[in-house]
Copies of this chain bind each other. A is one copy, B any other.
Amino acid sequence: MIVQKYGGTSVGSISRIKAVARRVVRTVEQGNRVVVVVSAMAGETDKLIDLSRQITDMPDEREMDLLLSSGERVSSALTAMAIQSLGYRSMSFTGRQVGIITDSSHTKAMIERVEAERLRRVLREGIIPVVAGFQGISASSDVTTLGRGGSDTTAVAIAVALKADLCEIYTDVDGVYTADPRIVKEARKQERISYDEMLEMASLGAKVLHSRAVEFAKKYDAPIVVRSSFNNKPGTLVTREDREMEKIVVSGVTYDKNQARITIMSVPDRPGIAARLFKAIADANIVVDMIVQNVSTKTKKTDISFTVPIADAKKALNITREVSKELGARGVNMNTNIAKVSIVGVGMRSHFGVASKMFETLAKKGINIMMISTSEIKLSCVIDVKDTEKAVRALHRAFIV
Contact = CB atoms under 8 A, between A and B. Distances in A.
B81 A52 contact: yes
A91 interface: yes
Interface string A76-120: 111011101100000110100100000000000000000000100
Q: How large is the interface on A (under 10, 10 to 19, 20 to 34, 35 or more residues)?
A: 35 or more
A81 B65 CA distance: 12
Q: Is the interface of A mostly helix, strand, loop or mixed?
A: helix
Nearest to A48: B74
A236 B32 CA distance: 60
A84 B97 contact: no
A123 interface: no
Contacts of A52: 77-78, 81
A48 B75 CA distance: 10
A88 to B, nearest CB: 12
A191 interface: no
Contacts of A74: 48, 51, 67, 70
A56 B84 contact: yes
Which residue, A18, A55, A74, has most C-beta atoms of chain B within 10 A? Answer: A55
Interface in A232-254: none
A141 to B, nearest CB: 6
23 contacts: A17-B55, A18-B55, A51-B74, A51-B78, A52-B78, A52-B81, A55-B78, A56-B81, A56-B85, A59-B81, A62-B91, A63-B77, A63-B78, A63-B84, A63-B92, A64-B77, A64-B81, A66-B92, A66-B94, A67-B73, A67-B74, A94-B143, A97-B142
